[in-house]
Amino acid sequence: MFDELSQYLQVDKPKRHAIDELLAPKLREHVFSSLKYDASFDEMDSVSVFDEIDACACDIAEPLTKYCPQCHRQYGEEENFCFECLVKLKHISDIVNVCDIKTHPQFKFEGSNDFQTFEDIFTPENMELISNARFKVKDYNEIIRDIKKAAFLEFDDLIKSNELVLDYLDTLDKILLFSKSFVEVDYKSFGQELGTFSFDRIEIDDRQMQSLQITTLIHELAHFLLKEILSIELCKVLDCTKNSLIDSISTFILVYSPLNRLIDEYSAHSVEGRFTLYGYQDYSSFLQIQNSLEGEMDREEIEIAKSIGNTFSLSIKEILESYIDNDLRDEIKDLFLHQTLDAPNYSMLSLENCNKLKGRGFMKAIWLILNEGFEVASMNIEKLEEYEKNF
Ligand SMILES: [Zn+2]
Ligand SMILES: [Zn+2]
């Protein structure tokens, strides 16, 4: 069924272009030497900045230790109020640590039905609704917009309620705070995995470098967003309110078949790739699934699954780019250049799929995933109940 989708394929030009540039050895040398050149200029810059600070240090009467929570102007220790905003000053050292902020964001969707059991969901009428569903690009775009809006409201609330000043945060904290407007994020210091996503919770290993913590966060966030997009698509078809039952079904759909796992993993991999430097990407997660599929699926089917994953990644990237703009992306790339000692490795770039599905084909793909997935889910209620306890 999925191979019929090949007629809807088109080239994801920005990705193709970026990869072609790196795979062509002459261009690659040029790109890398210009990056190195930049880095040495950076170092020169930072030396001169520090020199200036040193030179001025003797002129500054006292360090600025307080700030105004409203206008963010900085003040000396003896000041108590900002007479501009008429508020009490706070100590810079008291700024809340982003790591310690607990969040539990909820992405709501209201429908006429509010199902309370899986039996209520898997009725013959609902099975019929899904199998006759015609997914529309307009609805899909609305879902992406609603997710963006909900995340921005949560993000804004997090900044205000914790009296944070975004400009004072380092790159990792900016991404961490943004991630916390989508899901709960917890730190761990054990195990092999750099990060995991399960049941609206990301766990991330704090023993790795900042640059890798950032790309791991982005990767796990992509897993959450794909689950969320599928949940809301289901709610729209069934005209129901989103709850833990629906989230359990979309979670099941993304893991029960190797094909869907590959779509999910390739999407997360591609999103991560768009926010990091090519040559520093981790291919292990999807290669493992892809290798397990050899024999079960032919090359063409695997490429279609990757094209579907790549198409999802474009919408997820759009959601994340609403905050992670070019400036912030440059900050992340800088961290990679300064924190990573390994030379970039371009040999794996040939594994990248640079195709995306056109609108109608993409909607067909979503229908194929949900229609089959919903049916298989209806025969695995015990598994769904197990998942539901975790939400
Ligand atoms: Zn002020
Ligand atoms: Zn993954």
Query: Which residues lie at CB < 5 A from ion ligand 1?
Result: 68, 70-71, 82, 84-85
CA of 284 to the centre of ligand 2 (A): 9
State the pLDDT confidence band at 50, using cuts at 50, 70 and 90: very low
* 35 has a pLDDT exceeding 60: no
CA of 265 to the centre of ligand 2 (A): 5
CA of 56 to the centre of ligand 1 (A): 25
Number of other CB atoms surrounding residue 95 within 10 Å: 16
CA of 75 to the centre of ligand 1 (A): 10
* 40 has a pLDDT exceeding 60: no
* 373 has a pLDDT exceeding 60: yes
CA of 72 to the centre of ligand 2 (A): 38
Phi and psi at residue 386, in whole multiples of 5°?
-65, -45
Contact 287, 204 (CB under 8 A): no
- Which CB contacts under 8 angstroms, 24+ apart, belong to 38-44? 38/337, 39/337, 39/338, 42/334, 42/338
CA of 68 to the centre of ligand 2 (A): 41
Length of the chain: 391
How far, in Å, CA of 297 to CA of 305, rounded?
A: 10
Contact 180, 187 (CB under 8 A): no
CA of 70 to the centre of ligand 1 (A): 5
How far, in Å, CA of 27 to CA of 177, rounded?
A: 37
CA of 89 to the centre of ligand 1 (A): 8
Beta-carbon contacts of residue 313 (< 8 Å; ≥ 6 apart):
222, 266, 267, 268, 270, 271, 274
How far, in Å, CA of 332 to CA of 321, rounded?
A: 13
CA of 184 to the centre of ligand 2 (A): 17
* Burial class of residue 322 in the structure, from the number of CB atoms within 10 Å of its CB (0-12 exposed, 13-18 middle, 19+ buried): middle
* 81 has a pLDDT exceeding 80: yes
How confident is the model at residue 36, as a pLDDT? 45
